[in-house]
Amino acid sequence: MINFNVPPYTGKEIEYMKQAVENQKICGDGPFTRKCSEYIEELTQTTKCLLTTSCTHATEMAAFLIDIKEGDEVILPSYTFVSTANAFVLRGARVVFVDIRPDTMNIDETLIEDAITERTKAIAPVHYAGVGCEMDTIMDIARRYNLAVVEDAAQCIMASYKGKALGTFGEFGCFSFHETKNLSMGEGGALLIRDVRDIEAAEILREKGTDRSRYFRGQVDKYRWQNYGSSYLPSDMNAAYLYAQLELAEEITQARLARWNQYMELLTPLAKEGKIELPYIPDHCTHNAHMFYIKTKDMEERSRLIEHLKKKDILAVFHYVPLHSAPAGMKYGRFHGKDKYTTKESERILRLPMFYKLTEDEVEYITGQIKEFYK
Ligand SMILES: *Cc1c(COP(=O)(O)O)cnc(C)c1O
């Protein structure tokens, strides 16, 4: 059976976790958490990285930090994971969905401006499959209308737009290190902070509303309750697991890219015959092979292909029932403009197995079975 995902494992994780235990520092913000944060800051060239318990939590933190309030509106795609919307809905905002581009499955940047009202507070672009949204356009709109930008960069470690790391454009960027992502710590994430002036508020929010971070740095002699807050810091054991993967981030990414390129090469003939569609990567985007997907003619054909692959011991999956058509989406949001592509494209997309240790032979077998199906 070829699984759809196998969580990345490099071999050093256990050794580092053992070290974390021996350090007698298994709570948050220990040595491995610091190492991971510094590594990510260096890698992305961002001002500050705070490790969190998930990307969901990082996005919730961002919603607090840009001061989302009851009645505010946030613009995002409907084709995304629920967490992008939940973070703002939890603060009482309405989510305003706009259509996606069929080529990258990212928010259509040309439709954002029309969805802005006097209540709009933020834009939350999602870089689907580690392929950047049109950040030049989005940042320009944000500047002209004075809107905050929170990037859902859950799938984006090691990916960039015009040479700049995804997650570093907006005020805040949110990474995920869930076991389904390119690098993992089981459950976990990171909040990337662009502006120095946001760091202190973020640290306080993350540390139960206290200035314990300043206390640990020796900047104050006792820590006190400063503001509302919660607990968003992961155990140092989980950070130790992640650190082993960060050290091999380049190797993991290259291994995935090799399989991604192989899929592309072997499936191009089918695409040329018009049987399927393949992903598109704009020239100015460097992706991280988070995902390899194809698009079938329609939902019915997709179901038959999934069945065919299952019989051949291959697990292929689809995702994202568009949020605007889900019960909570109808309650907390609205779709602005026409749903030209969101529903249609979401019904055609099929994700093929993609993980660190996927082999060349496996990709050959999988693509062979897809060709067999279309014969
Ligand atoms: C995985 C994912 C999330 C959630 O990440 P967690 O770390 O599990 O909270 C959010 N948005 C997108 C686009 C994702 O792919």
Cα 264 to Cα 270, 301, 307, 319, distances in angstroms = 10, 20, 22, 21
The atom of ligand 1 lying closest to the CA of 83 is 10
The residue ranges of DSSP E strands in the chain, in sequence order, are 48-52, 73-77, 94-98, 120-123, 148-152, 160-161, 164-165, 172-176, 189-193, 285-286, 292-295, 333-335, 349-352
- For position 24, what pLDDT does the model report? 87
Q: Is 55 in the pocket of ligand 1 (CB under 6 A)?
A: yes
Distance 133 CA to ligand 1 centre (A): 16
The Cα 155–Cα 50 span in angstroms is 17
- For position 29, what pLDDT does the model report? 95
Each residue of 165-185: pLDDT tens digit? 999 999 999 999 999 999 999
Indicate the burial class of 70 (C-beta count within 10 angstroms; 0-12, 13-18, 19 or more): exposed
The Cα 341–Cα 213 span in angstroms is 45
Distance 349 CA to ligand 1 centre (A): 18
The Cα 250–Cα 266 span in angstroms is 24
Q: Which residues of the chain have pLDDT under 70?
A: none
> How many whole angstroms from its chain centre is CA 40?
15
* The residue count for the chain: 375
Pocket test for ligand 1, best of 53, 54, 55 (most atoms within 8 A of CB): 55
Q: Is 175 in the pocket of ligand 1 (CB under 6 A)?
A: no
The Cα 288–Cα 63 span in angstroms is 27
The Cα 130–Cα 159 span in angstroms is 6
Pocket test for ligand 1, best of 5, 84, 90, 152 (most atoms within 8 A of CB): 152
The atom of ligand 1 lying closest to the CA of 189 is 7
The angle, 0 to 180 degrees and rounded to 10, between the axes of the packed helices 360-374 and 249-272 is: 20
The atom of ligand 1 lying closest to the CA of 57 is 9
Q: Is 152 in the pocket of ligand 1 (CB under 6 A)?
A: yes
**Residue nearest atom 6 of ligand 1, based on CA coordinates:** 55
Pocket test for ligand 1, best of 52, 81, 86, 180 (most atoms within 8 A of CB): 81
The Cα 286–Cα 75 span in angstroms is 25
Dihedral sign for Cα atoms in the order 9, 128, 135, 78: negative
The angle, 0 to 180 degrees and rounded to 10, between the axes of the packed helices 299-311 and 360-374 is: 130
- For position 92, what pLDDT does the model report? 98
Specify the DSSP element, H or E, that contains 254. Answer: helix 249-272
The residue ranges of DSSP E strands in 252-311, in sequence order, are 285-286, 292-295
Q: Which amino acid is at 52?
A: T
- For position 279, what pLDDT does the model report? 98
pTM score, whole prediction: 0.97
The atom of ligand 1 lying closest to the CA of 180 is 1
Check if the beta carbon of residue 157 is closer than 8 Å to that of residue 181. Answer: yes
